[in-house]
Structure 1
Amino acid sequence: MAAFSESGPVFKSRCAQVGLASADVEKLEKVGVNSLAKVAFMTSYTPGSGDDKDLIAAFESALGTSPSVGQKSSFRRLFHEAYAVTTSEMKMLVERTDESIPRKLSVPERSERFEVVSKRLVGLSIKNRLEPADSLVDSFVSQYEQDKLQFVPWEKLVSKEQEASTGAKREPFFSLDSTGKLRSETKVEVRADTSTELLLQLALQRRGIAMEMANILDYHHHHMWVERLLAARLDAPPSTHMQPTLDQCQQADRKLWQLLGEATRSGIQLKAGGRPLDAIFEATWQTPEVLHLLQPMPRAAGASVSQQVAPPPRPHGPGPYDRPGKGRKGTGKGAKGTKGGGKEAGYTAVPIDWHHNKQRTCVHTLQLDLRLDSTWSFLRRICSEYNVAWVHMAPPCGTASRARECGPGPKPLRSLRHVRGLPGLPPVEQARVDSANTIYDNMVAFCDWLFHAMPHVPFSVENPLHSYLWQLPKWAALVSKHSFVTFDSCLHGSQRKKAAALLTNSEHLHCLSGPCPGCSSHLPWGKQGRSFATAEETNYPKLLCERIVACVDKSAASRGIAPERLSISKVSAARAAGQVQPRGRKFPPIISEFAYTVSVGSAEAPTLNSKHCLSTAWHGVPAGAKLLRESVERGGSRLPEGNKFYIFGVYRSMQAFLNEAKLVVHPFDSARSLPDELLRVLFDTLTKSPVDTMRHRLLKLQHWRALAKQLEPEEEKIRSAMDPCVRKVLGCKRIALMKRVAADLSWPDTALFDDLAAGFKLTGYLGRTGVFASDVKPATMDLDEFWASAPLRRETLLEKVRAQKDHDYAEELWNMTLEESNRSGKCWLDGPIDVDSLGDTFPEGWNACRRFAVWQGKWRAIDDFSEAAVNSCFGLPCGKIIGTLTASVLTARLMTFSIILLREPGSRAVKAFVCNTLPFGASASVMQFNRVALFLQRVLWDLRVAVTCYYDDFPTMTSSFLSGGTDNAVHALMDLFGFSLSEKEKPFSCTAETLGVVLDTSDPDMGRIFVSNKPERAAMLEESIGRILEQGQVDTRELPSLLGKLRFADAQLLGRTGRLALADLRLLGDKGGVLQLTDSQSNALAVLRARLLASRPRAIATSPPSNPVLIFTDGACDPCEGGFTTGVGGILFVPGKGVARAFGCRVPTKLVRQWAEGRKHIIGQVELYAVVLARILWSSYIGGERCIFFVDHSGVLSACINSNSIDASWRSLLLHLEAADEARPCLPWFHRVPSQSNIADPPSRGRWDELAFLGPFARDAPTCFVTGEALDAT
């Protein structure tokens, strides 16, 4: 099988067309002329070169007789056609680009290929849905001719039957090809449906046949891989795992093609030994890199119906009802509406906005100026260094809005004739237009860069359909290259009909297109109060956000970069492992909201209630099921007009949810925060003898000492190449040895040691090191701006230092600075130097930095590199700290950034000191310190030392009989590498002070570890809070220091107690001046002070995992004449006790009236009251135990997790919850239960008969914890 010019059937067909007899053709074939290419080069004659005697002579020689005039005419025609076709193919081969369209096979060539494959694949009927489309065959033939294998997406594996049926739907459009010529094409959306196993099998069989027709791969080899893919889908997985999804299968298929592409870099065309792919295909798909993607994933909690409960009735309507789906998160009653976004979908969002935006954002935004080139350089860096799933942009449309032309209101600033701004605008308006134009120009340049440099990254730009933005010349050119999606915003959740547009390079957004769906009414435009309706429409509706994210999901899945929805971040896992529940939705649900999901295709809409749940059973879906979404597509193909697919989530029954809850493991027991290497250290320490550990350490150290001796010449070479100031600081550190050890450990930060030898940088962007979690922090100033402003900043800081008052730490700070500059000691600084001489020392300029001191048990020197603008020049497109060391060296050329200014106490003269090391106060120092510290930590793990690091502190744990050996091993390693340890280290003990807290492991039963504040720290905090309470007011200038210490204490050991007081102090700290405390704030601070006075250590349970205590609560609140009818209910299940406990009672009328003052709804207070009542009533069962509280109000769930609220009535209830936790501590976890699944709902309404499935249970009669009165039963 060859190209057009080399095809035998094509040759015979053309010979017949030009009039050559079959006998003449046979004679040509006998002499070897059997293709158009051979006709073109059978002689040296070329068209237009003169007489063609040689050509006719060659023809006569082939015929064996003199040709007639007619024969000569036919042969000349054949020759000219052959020469034109062959040279054209050669030109296309040389000039081919990625934009070149595949060559279409001729009819004879296609027919011959089909006949050959049909005869070869005996028993396979290649017709109807099994026959590949012509475009699919052409695609693989093009790959063969390019000699390069490429993956064809599943949706393009269409059949010839489907291709033929869509021929009438083709739409013409024009575009430029790779040569710059205008090309007319027909565009049609033809997609292969692969939504079921059968449809997928047919699609992949079509691919195998097409590859056989293109002579790339044997069909039988391909079929074995298809069988393996389908087996992954159809084989029953273990009960604890889920069936591999079609997405997994497609990822595995893509991975296989990636590996095949890497293995066939030399080409895929037929060679003497056969087809290259035939030889490697089977071995490649059997590699672990491919097969591990087909492994069943562990089942999420609650993703399947419990075996102890009858499954829900099987629906009988159309749709795939035969398997339950994953549950999805939803919002419950009282949930606060928020914008849907990529963050909830599992993406790492990097939202960028300006600091004057008045709209409330749902995520933290980076506040950058889009008018600056540095901002767009930062964004290009992000796109280049990360797997970016999508870039969405919405430039400000205020100056480009045509709503200005409607009046009354702001006047127009642009017109069709003057799209860049009307002439003669007032200065203020002209500045606004110029600012917007700068953003528009930068954004269109960025989109163009994405299109050319990162074509795989989808992007979209949103603006009103009639915005003047689209009329700007550069934007109009961009619109001509990409798709333009238009829709009325009411189609996607808005209450106004606004014509919007999306410019995108991705077809996945096309499904958003459409007019108003026929809304009965829309909100009016114009001025609404003090603002215009157009300003309200700048916010995206939640539904639009969710649909855009769904499109992003499809795109990301097709590229193999879709996020794991139920994955846990390292920070959230660490908090849970530390027995602190993460806030928000950062931890996946322990029980899914729905038992399963079902899809129904129907032309009629379901009947829903106000909560979007089915009022009655519909097409086999039970009543009460919640509508999650609807779609007009299925498997990538649009449904017939008027039909939709409705996706419902079916709630569990109360009994099913309870049975599921009884199987749940407490997240404090299931979460894990320790890295694998540290777990291995603990495992080896606990399972192997002390002698084995000591032998391991000895052998390691002996090996590294031998390496050190072997690498001595290389160490000398590295030292001799260092700058003198770098060599002075690094001293005898063995960089070559560390580099070799890092290589043996496969340490990812390979650039660390070169940076250490050359000196670290304080500015620029830190490259990707592989040891930090992903994060983004842009540099807000480039070096040109920095040095342009350096002279003025230098003079300003000099005047500040000269004029500053004497501080009580001045003498101590000066002595510390002199010690750091001691040439026979640390050599961290050079100085003191006269300021006037710095110009001669640094003729190219220098930057000033002030030094001050803070008290941290002792005076500590701080260099203000934020004021010096150095920190503004440092950015992180790579990582944030996850885990650092004493001073590391600065690169010599950056010392001009770090000239420290300090006034000498005696003479009051300003002196300068030049930094040789990373200064304490520079943002870059933090990251560079951590790079060294994390490496040392990893090497210590290799010595089986259980150690962690926090900046320059290395807390270490060991068994008592290994304490001496561990201490010696750590010192030996640090001496070998050339690091000196601090003199403040303390010997091993069962009680140790570290990082400001006391850790006590002396419990004889080894059941608990106690953590407490250092006595002096607790006394200092208690004294500060006592002074605030005594005065009844707080000076906000004193709050930052106090808050820092309290936050540390909160993170370490306070638990829930004091959270309200901390929130109050944070709120007060945002204000200024001296502020009076409210009664609520005073009460919260009093609780915190009492906690500090008690000095009760926090006990961390080390007992093995156990089944948690389960507490279900609910509140009922119905409006009635004159107020509300309320009730609360609760159910308690204690493991090992057969009888459950319950309560159901009314909330005291006095409390209800108090809550109802000035409010329309009090359901939140009632639900929270139920939680606190259960916590206090059942303290004897809950205290000291792992427990899970199930509540069905999202606001109450958030308040209980955060232990905070801005509402006074909620705060008063949370104070009672704090007091209960202080009296009888427990290990709580709060989780949401849907109202339909909450077994505490019946007792809150007095419907006790609905709990018959529980069997016998005890009913408690609680007392109100606020009023002290006995509560009436429901």
Structure 2
Amino acid sequence: MWGSTRNKRTTFRATPGLCSGLRRDCDGSHEHLSWTPTATPSGVVFPTSGEAEYTKELAAAYAAFSLRALQLRGLRTERSHVGPGVLRPRDLRSFTRKRVPPLLAEYWLVAPRDCVPPEWPQRPLPKHVLFPKTGDEVITVSSVAEVRALEATNAVKPSTLVALKALAATGAEPMVGVLRRPQQTVLATRCLSHPLELNLPLPDILVKAVVNVLRVGPRGIAFHRATVLQKLLVRAEALKDRERELHCGLHPGLRKVLAGKNTILWEQLLRESHFPDLGLVDEVRGGFELVGPANCSGAFPMAYKPPQQSVEKLMQQAVWRRKNTISKCKPTGDTAADDELWSQTLGEVEQGWIDGPYWAESEVSERLGSAEWMCTRRFPIVQGPKVRIIDDCLQSGLNLAYAAYNKLRLMDADAFISLVLLLIRCSHQPGSMIQLDSGEQLVVKRHPEWGDGLDLLGKTLDLSAAYKQLGCRPDTKFNRVLDFMVGLLSTCLGWNVALQPKKNQPFSQTFTLLGIELSLKTADQGILKVRNKPDRVLELRAELDRLLSQGYMKRSEASSLHGRLNFAQGQLHGCPIKPALKFLSQVAANGWDDALADDFKLVIGYIAACFATDSPRVIHALDSRYAIKLFTDGAWDNRIAGAGAVLQYALDQGPKVAEVVVPECLIEHWGRHGGTQLISQLELFPVLVSLVSWGPQLAGRRILAFIDNNGVRDSLIKGSSPLPDHFVMLSMIAWVARRYHFTLWFTRVASESNPADKPSRSQAREAAEELGGSLELPLTLDDVLVKGLLSKRSFMDMCQGSMPFGDGENVGERLWQ
């Protein structure tokens, strides 16, 4: 009953009760394969070897029951299902390890099978699928009539209702998930907000700080900050003798690294702020391990990454790994970079961060009292005018013997932008309510001293050589420190701050953060502008000029440029560089071929044009316009192609319903290699046609696009696909989004619940009547775009400008103004 093809029993040696839910005998409803060995050209094959493996069904069930047992013993897991706050969830990332879950739950109801009306659309749920999940509403029912009464209210909500049997329940009743009908889907999604309207990554403590700053006013904040800092300085002075005594007991190497650090005061502040990783300071004082198991931190989500080999095995390899590393320590060919590497290394020696220099292996062995030691190669990377030092712990093998138990969730550029958006919204909406993740509600009040406008200034503050201000540790460890220090960079704690003019810029309306430039000049109008750092763009253009003059590119150059462009395109609307990245990926994987010379020139010029014509990304904090809902679907039944679309444009209007015309030439083109299953192309095609056809009406708007094919949805999210036919459509979608400045979000809808299903089957009129919407003329794709889809060169034609709008015009911004 757990997926095996032969009659057998499987037993586990486990904690009593852990596997009780797996105890099931075969019901005899299917045939079993024979255990008789079979003769093959390579010899006799015994089926026992294959049957020793766990089936997928058994492994999934075992994992589910194990998780349940651990949860009953107090294990805390992240929320894994859309909860009742789905209409405006502020921190969607906390639901699951995925960045954001589906906005629309798959089922509106989960209930015992015998309590659900048989005519309702439903799916049986495997026994190992656990409900309720965190955030689900739970009720008890005892009859089909009670369940029927739930439909009118709950089927039009985006979340899930779990109904359990009230009487004679055993907990083993077969459960089903009830799907929404298309009409119910339209109603359930009507009030959903676009995730980018929300302040996704902000923790409660930061939201409280923003609200408090607005409430107490500038003088109140200045007085509070001065008072707190004065108290900290007094406390640091009072703890000076205890801190000195503590440092005397540290290892000599750690004593150098931690010189000037006020660890006792730091520990007290961590406790007072209820920081979830109180063992952090002890690790700082004792030094972080570079190999072996890491300590689990409460400051980040759980995620186990096992080591690839043991510490003992690594040390057995120490001598030959050391010899291999030393053999690779050679000049890079860039004398200036090598000189800077040596200069910075000697500077770290003076700081006490490293020991040396040593000129022979024997010196190090004598210093350590052992010949079993490892070393790590250090090399320079030139980043514009700066030379960054890299310690290659991967090549030396250190990373292979390290086990991590946390997944980092950092305060990235998204978090900072969300902070600015929160400030703008709170400033313009005094009297509004903000609900924290804890459930607490805050009233937004704006102190009169702030005046009527909003003159925001910003800057960033860096720790100087942050990772090296701690003892030996793996790269991931410092972020636990940074998570706390982001709110408290004070010299009274002894942390060195980068004070060089380039790093310590004054407060300004325009400043840089993590490779991007933020403009607050129009913050008073509710507008934030984001673009790539100008000097980074200049560096990219200089590199493009160099490559164009060179006439070819090496694998390493293609890989490096791909990485830099992949980040930089995040600030360009519609990710238009995806077609060029495809070419770079091919060169990085397969190497250079002279036959690529013409395409190479085209790609380099295309990338330069993208940066030259693109305007900053504009984020409207006060855009209260309705988040548009777009449903699309494709059909491929008995070799008959179809596609359809449904557009919910306004809250108080019915949806627009339309068939999407699929040209016969495209069907022939997609099936040119003999393929008989074209459903993925037909699922993607109506997305492109809908955005092109309705683009002028939707310019500058936020759009939720619902897709019922998971593979197509994932391709739309990534903006890329290994299949050429899919990739050229994705490239066109990127250009459409760039032209009209759409803010697109792709999410899932169940196939049975998709309002666009009937329009894709030539039943648009019937769908319009059922949905209470208007029947639109069939949507067709421009001949120029159809020609582009028929191209055998796919993305190369995209680069050459087969799109009719490559001038970088910003229609969405013009309409907004």
Q: Confirm or deny a common fold (TM above 0.5).
A: yes
SS in structure 2 opposite 1:665? coil
Residues 680 and 1220 (structure 1 numbering): CA distance in 2 closer, same or farther, change over 3 Å? same
Instruction: Report if aligned partners of 2:112, 2:176 keep a CA contact under 8 Å in 1.
Output: yes
Give 1:1027 deviation, angstroms.
7.2
Query: Is contact 2:380-2:388 (8 Å) kept?
Result: yes
* Structure 2 residue matching 1:688: 3-state secondary structure: helix
Alpha-carbon spacing, 1:682–1:1264, altered in 2? closer, same or farther (3 Å) = same
Determine if the alignment matches structure 1 residue 492 to structure 2 residue 6.
Answer: no
Mapped pair 1:993 → 2:512: yes
Question: Is the aligned partner of 1:501 residue 2:10?
Answer: yes
How far does residue 987 in structure 1 lie from its aligned partner after superposition?
A: 0.5
Judging changes above 3 Å, is the alpha-carbon distance between structure 1 residues 1014 and 714 closer, same or farther for their aligned structure 2 residues? Answer: same
Provide the TM-score with structure 1 as the length reference. Answer: 0.48
Give, in angstroms, the shift of residue 646 of structure 1: 4.5
- Matched residue, 1:295: none
CA distance in structure 1 between the partners assigned to 2:583 and 2:600 by the alignment: 6
Please state how far the C-alpha of 1:566 moved relative to its aligned partner. 3.0
Aligned AA (1:1188): L
Q: Does the CA contact (< 8 Å) of 1:1035 and 1:1075 recur in 2?
A: no
Instruction: Call closer, same or farther: CA 1:1257–1:785 in 2, change over 3 Å.
Output: closer
Aligned position for 1:594 = 107
Report the CA distance between 1:1142 and its aligned residue: 3.0
Aligned to 1:936: 485
Superposed CA offset, 1:780-805 (max 9, x none):
45554444443444444445447986
Q: 1:940-979 alignment to 2 at 5 Å?
A: 973-975=490-492, 977=494, 979=496
Match of 2:793? Answer: none
SS of the residue aligned with 2:390? strand
What CA RMSD, in Å, does the superposition of the two structures yield over aligned residues? 4.3
> SS of the residue aligned with 2:377?
strand
The aligned counterpart of 1:1040 is: 559
**1:599 corresponds to which letter in structure 2?**
P
How many angstroms apart in 1 are the aligned matches of 2:399 and 2:91? 33
Tell me: CA distance 1:982–1:624, structure 2 relative to 1, closer, same or farther (3 Å).
same
Which of 213, 224, 236 is matched with 1:696 structurally? Answer: 224
Give, in whole Å, the separation in 1 of the partners of 2:534 and 2:74.
Answer: 54
| Residues 1107 and 717 of structure 1, relative CA distance in 2, 3 Å threshold | same
- For residue 1268 of structure 1, report the CA deviation from its aligned partner: 6.2
Shift, 1:1098, TM fit? 1.6
2:766 pairs with 1:1249: yes
Specify whether residues 647 and 978 from structure 1 end up closer, same or farther in structure 2 by C-alpha distance, changes over 3 A only.
Answer: closer
| AA aligned opposite 1:1130 | A
What is the aligned partner in structure 2 of residue 1018 from structure 1?
Answer: 537
The 1:623–1:829 alpha-carbon spacing in structure 2 relative to 1, beyond 3 Å, is closer
Q: Are the structure 2 counterparts of residues 530 and 597 from structure 1 closer, same or farther at C-alpha, using a change threshold of 3 Å?
A: farther
1:1259 aligns with 2:784: no
Partner of 1:1144: 659
Q: 2:613 maps to what in 1?
A: 1094
How is 1:1185-1204 mapped onto 2 (pairs within 5 angstroms)? 1185-1204=701-720
Structure 1 CA distance, aligned partners of 2:239 and 2:301? Answer: 33
- Is this contact kept in 1: 2:197–2:621, CA < 8 A? no
> 2:303–2:407: 8 Å Cα contact kept in structure 1?
yes
Asked if structure 1 preserves the Cα contact closer than 8 Å seen for 2:314 and 2:397, the reply is yes
Match among 644, 661, 669 for residue 197 of structure 2: 669
Task: Report the CA distance shift for 1:1215/1:1077 in structure 2 as closer, same or farther (over 3 A).
Answer: farther
* Residue matched to 2:353: 828
- Who is 2:811 aligned against? none
TM-score norm. by structure 2 comes to 0.73
Of 853, 870, 883, the residue aligned with 2:380 is: 853
CA distance in 2, matches of 1:581, 1:1009: 25
- CA offsets 1:371-396 (integer angstroms, 9 cap, x no match): xxxxxxxxxxxxxxxxxxxxxxxxxx
Gaps of 5+ in 2: 131-163, 412-461, 788-817
SS of the equivalent of 2:192 reads: coil
Identity %: 25
1:649 matched to 2:158? The reply is: no
Give how far 1:1202 is off: 2.0
Residues in 1 aligned to 2:772 and 2:681: alpha-carbon distance in whole angstroms: 31
C-alpha distance in 2, partners of 1:533/1:1011? 63
One-letter code aligned to 1:672 = L
Pairing 1:566–2:80 present: yes
Question: Structure 2 CA distance, aligned partners of 1:1175 and 1:880?
Answer: 36
- Alpha-carbon displacement from aligned partner over 1:1176-1203 (angstroms, at most 9, x marks no partner): 1111222211111123322222221222
What CA distance in whole angstroms lies between the structure 1 residues aligned with 2:66 and 2:543?
51
- For residues 1031-1054 of structure 1, give each alpha carbon's deviation from its aligned partner in whole angstroms, at most 9, with x where no partner exists: 996532223322332233245556
Quick one: which of 729, 737, 740 aligns to 1:1224? 740
Residue pair 1:1118, 1:1125 contacting (<8 A) in 2 also:
yes
Range moving further from structure 2, 1107-1116 or 731-740: 731-740
Q: CA deviation at 1:1161?
A: 1.0
2:236 pairs with 684, 693, 708, which one? Answer: 708
Deviations 1:907-956 (A, max 9, x none): xxxxxxxxxx659xx8x34234334333322435xxxxxxxxxxxxxxxx
Cα 1:581–1:1034 shift into 2, 3 Å = farther
Counterparts in 2 of 1:790 and 1:1113: CA distance versus 1, 3 Å: closer
Q: Distance between the aligned counterparts of 1:1053 and 1:530, measured in 2?
A: 57
Q: Which moved more, 1:1168-1177 or 1:759-768?
A: 759-768
Q: Alignment partner of 2:530: what SS?
A: strand
More displaced 10-residue stretch of structure 1: 1097-1106 or 532-541:
532-541
Residue identity opposite 1:621 in structure 2: P
The verdict on how the C-alpha distance between 1:993 and 1:667 changes in structure 2, with shifts beyond 3 A counting, is closer
For the 8 Å contact 1:1034–1:1075, the answer to whether it is kept is no
Letter in 2 for 1:503: F
* SS, match of residue 939 in structure 1: coil
Return the letter of the residue paired with 2:375: A
Shift of 1:621: 1.1
1:1194/1:1091 CA distance change after superposition, 3 Å: same
After superposition, the C-alpha distances for 1:46-87 in whole angstroms (9 at most, x for unaligned) are xxxxxxxxxxxxxxxxxxxxxxxxxxxxxxxxxxxxxxxxxx
Point out the more displaced range, 802-811 or 706-715.
Answer: 802-811
Deviations 1:150-190 (A, max 9, x none): xxxxxxxxxxxxxxxxxxxxxxxxxxxxxxxxxxxxxxxxx
Q: Which residue pairs with 1:519 in the alignment?
A: 30
- Between 1216-1225 and 1095-1104, report the one with greater CA deviation: 1095-1104
Distance 1:619 1:1039, change over 3 A: closer
Structure 1 residue aligned with 2:699: 1183
- The equivalent residue for 1:812 is 340
Deviation at 1:754, TM superposition (A): 3.8
Shift of 1:1171: 1.0
Match of 2:353, as an amino acid? W
Q: Which residue of 1 aligns with 2:134?
A: none
Structure 1: distance between partners of 2:223 and 2:711: 57
Aligned equivalent of 1:842: 368
8 A Cα contact 2:629 2:647, kept in partner: yes
Q: Which residue of the other structure, out of 752, 756, 759, is the alignment partner of 1:1240?
A: 756
Other-structure match for 2:208: 680
2:378 and 2:389 in contact (8 A); partners too: yes
Instruction: Evaluate the alpha carbon distance shift between residue 736 and residue 809 of structure 1 in structure 2; reply closer, same or farther with a 3 A threshold.
Output: same
SS of aligned partner of 1:649: strand
Residue 843 (structure 1) shift? 3.0
User: Following the alignment from structure 2 to structure 1, what is the Cα–Cα distance between the partners of residues 660 and 574?
Assistant: 30
Q: Which runs of 5+ in 1 are unaligned?
A: 1-490, 602-617, 891-916, 941-972
SS of 1:776's equivalent? strand
Match of 1:1131 in 2: 646
Q: Does the alignment pair 1:625 with 2:140?
A: no
